[in-house]
Amino acid sequence: MNKQKIIITGKNYAFILGMARSLKDENTEIIVLNTKKEKKNNFISIIKKALQGSSIDSKSNCIDKYIITGNGEEKIIKTLINNYSKLDKKAIIIPLDDYTLSIFDSNYDQLSKDFILPSINKKQGEIVKLLNKNMQKEIAKKNDLFVSDGVLLKKEGKEYININKVKYPVFTKPEISVKGNKTFMKKCDNKEELLQLLESIPKNFNCPIIAEDYLSIEKEYAVVGYRFNEKVFIPGIIEMLKSGSGSQKGVTMIGIIHSPKNYESLINKLTNYVNTINYNGLFDFDIVEVNNKYYFSEMNLRFGASGYAFTKIGINIPKLYCANILNNEINDSIKNDNYEKSFVNEKVLLDEYKNGYIGYKECIDYLKNTDYGFIRDQHDKKPFIHFKKQLMIQRLKKIIDLNK
């Protein structure tokens, strides 16, 4: 019997690893297209590669084929078409970042003939349109969700229009995430700070900036699920207890999984949101709590990095999504008393330690005092062994640096 091919695309090794583990069974073949930008092989990079070894996710026994495509759109599309089109069973594509999601949606008419992939109204380009945060906020308002008001700062010539309409303090973010990066996400208390941020943006950066009213956030949440054939499944809420810093800003490092029982009103509104846009695929909402009110931050039209936490407690969202696609009989009713469990995203933890935001003892404490990890797994041990090796390399480097 031909196995169902599932193609996972992205560059975050912990995210790829969690998705592969969620979807691997005796009936599936898991293929990873790693789209991380390839670096030139100079002497230093060769030594670093020799010390660190290959990517952590590539060590997993849940991945059948691991292909490094780099981040070129043409190469990614060619790899799919040349290797996985014209199969007896259409392969399922699971994009794990906005970059590959945008590529697939922009080529939907071509790819949908041979692949099953996320879509809005089964039309090309509709997902790309909805990556616009202002458009998302308008839909949120129509579904009775609170949003932070903001001003769109668009460059015309050398000046940003609407800058005099901004009321401080504000929090800035790119209007479209895939076109920007986290360095543009910052609190600005006055016009001088906002101008400094705007001046730091490269001249070839072609994306407006949103200056939102700053919210004193009390709690942050991720709401993950899927929609397929008008059915929406949201099994609970993930609360961020500690996030990353720098390039990992806003990414959950330590979190806890809550039952949906105390969040029914919010979940109903988010369900209506997904139905409103007629989206089919995995999704992730970013929600913040301010003064006991839940504010919509953004919707990711792909699975969220922290969603693997649900697989860990026995609610496998990606597998349920694929089962629905393939018309398999799987009961997705929630009968689970394994909520209120904590987890650690070891990739974020390693980056935090590497970049000096936390110490070694704190790092070890987080590993010991959480119920689950995204890399450690008793049935797939090699990735965690490789993670521990990388952690020790970073510790040795810090010891050497101290003794210079």
Dump pLDDT digits (tens) for 227-260.
Answer: 998 889 999 999 999 999 887 888 999 999 999 9
pLDDT higher than 80, residue 204: no
Sign of CA dihedral 310, 315, 319, 324: negative
Q: What is the span of the domain harbouring residue 90?
A: 4-129
**Residues 235, 169 within the same domain:** no
Average pLDDT of the residues in 353-375? 96
Domain tally for the chain? 3
Would you state the pLDDT for residue 333?
60
**Residues 233, 366 within the same domain:** yes
- pLDDT band per the 50, 70, 90 thresholds, residue 1: low
How far is 93 from 103, CA to CA, in rounded Å? 12
pLDDT higher than 60, residue 394: yes
Would you state the pLDDT for residue 50?
47
Q: Is residue 387 part of a domain?
A: yes
**Residues 59, 42 within the same domain:** yes
Q: Is residue 138 part of a domain?
A: no
Question: Higher-confidence residue: 248 or 368?
Answer: 368
Q: Is residue 362 part of a domain?
A: yes
* Residues with Cβ within 8 Å of residue 202, at least 6 apart in sequence: none
Would you state the pLDDT for residue 51?
45
Looking at 198, 213, 228, the residue that finishes a domain is 213
Dump pLDDT digits (tens) for 291-349.
Answer: 999 999 999 999 998 999 999 999 999 999 999 998 865 555 666 678 999 999 999 99
DSSP state string for 316-374: -HHHHHHHHHTT------------S-EEE-HHHHHHHHHTTSS-HHHHHHHHHSSSEES
Q: Is residue 112 part of a domain?
A: yes
Q: Is residue 229 part of a domain?
A: yes
**Residues 228, 266 within the same domain:** yes
pLDDT higher than 90, residue 27: yes
Q: Is residue 135 part of a domain?
A: no
3-state secondary structure of 43: helix
CATH number at residue 99: 3.40.50
**Residues 199, 335 within the same domain:** no
**Residues 247, 396 within the same domain:** yes
CATH number at residue 189: 3.30.1490
Strands annotated E in 89-245:
91-95, 115-116, 119-120, 150-156, 159-161, 170-174, 186-188, 209-213, 219-228, 231-233, 237-243
- What is the edge-to-edge ordering of all strands in the sheet holding 209-213? 159-161, 150-156, 209-213, 170-174, 186-188
Looking at 96, 129, 162, the residue that finishes a domain is 129
How far is 336 from 346, CA to CA, in rounded Å? 25
Average pLDDT of the residues in 258-283? 96
Average pLDDT of the residues in 106-125? 97
CA-based angle 317:322:325, to the nearest 5?
130
Average pLDDT of the residues in 189-214? 87
Q: Cα 312 from chain centroid?
A: 17
Would you state the pLDDT for residue 46?
44
**Residues 225, 209 within the same domain:** no
Looking at 195, 213, 231, the residue that finishes a domain is 213
- pLDDT band per the 50, 70, 90 thresholds, residue 207: confident
Q: Cα 209 from chain centroid?
A: 21
Average pLDDT of the residues in 106-130? 97
Would you state the pLDDT for residue 39?
60
pLDDT higher than 50, residue 404: yes
**Residues 124, 174 within the same domain:** no
**Residues 100, 228 within the same domain:** no
Query: In this prediction, what percent of the chain has a pLDDT beyond 90?
Result: 74
Average pLDDT of the residues in 66-91? 93
- Say what the pTM is: 0.91
Q: Is residue 143 part of a domain?
A: no
**Residues 234, 371 within the same domain:** yes
Query: In this prediction, what percent of the chain has a pLDDT beyond 70?
Result: 92
Contact 13, 55 (CB under 8 A): yes
pLDDT higher than 50, residue 52: no
Q: Cα 130 from chain centroid?
A: 16
Q: Is residue 285 part of a domain?
A: yes
**Residues 111, 227 within the same domain:** no
Contact 282, 118 (CB under 8 A): yes
Would you state the pLDDT for residue 161?
84
Would you state the pLDDT for residue 125?
97
**Residues 96, 241 within the same domain:** no
CATH number at residue 307: 3.30.470.20
